[in-house]
Amino acid sequence: MTNLTIIFVCTGNTCRSPMAAVLMGIELDKRGVRDIIIENAGLSAYGEPASPNAISVIAELDEKSAEALESHISQNLTAEQIMNADILAVMSPAHAAEVIRRGADPKKVYILSAKKESGITDPFGGNIDTYRETRNRLTEAVNSLADEIFN
């Protein structure tokens, strides 16, 4: 499977979706999967940098991925991204409803979840342990998505 486009979507595009994107990159590297386009965006982003705690908890796993987050600037999900995405991986049922409202094919919308929860809660404003918990839930959810796509 080549030229697949996965877009991770959250609210502000400073925590969950950028972390999910780099975590998917790490997972695909482990699997030797190439030619996958991984993007991330928010539904209400304002050109902000990635959260320092998001960068820190990713650095604990992979310094190269953390460096990518250091240059991240949040951006809003575009109509073009919605149209071109093969998978829109969102963090909550509310995000799913919004991307569908914006024109996404419901069959392309995937709600990330871990431990049978419906979605991944927003760590924004939380302490480093909150971000670690979010990173761990995102890792589990991203690995499950990778399993669904590539197995």
Which residues form the catalytic set?
A: 10, 16, 122
What the block records as the tokens of 129 is: 């342990």
What the block records as the tokens of 37 is: 């386009």
For the chain, give the number of residues.
Answer: 151
Contact 13, 41 (CB under 8 A): yes
CA-only gyration radius of the chain, Å? 14
- Residue 118 burial by CB count (10 A; 0-12/13-18/19+): exposed, middle or buried? exposed
Q: Could you write out the three-class secondary structure of 7-43?
A: EEEECCCCCHHHHHHHHHHHHHHHHCCCCEEEEEEEC
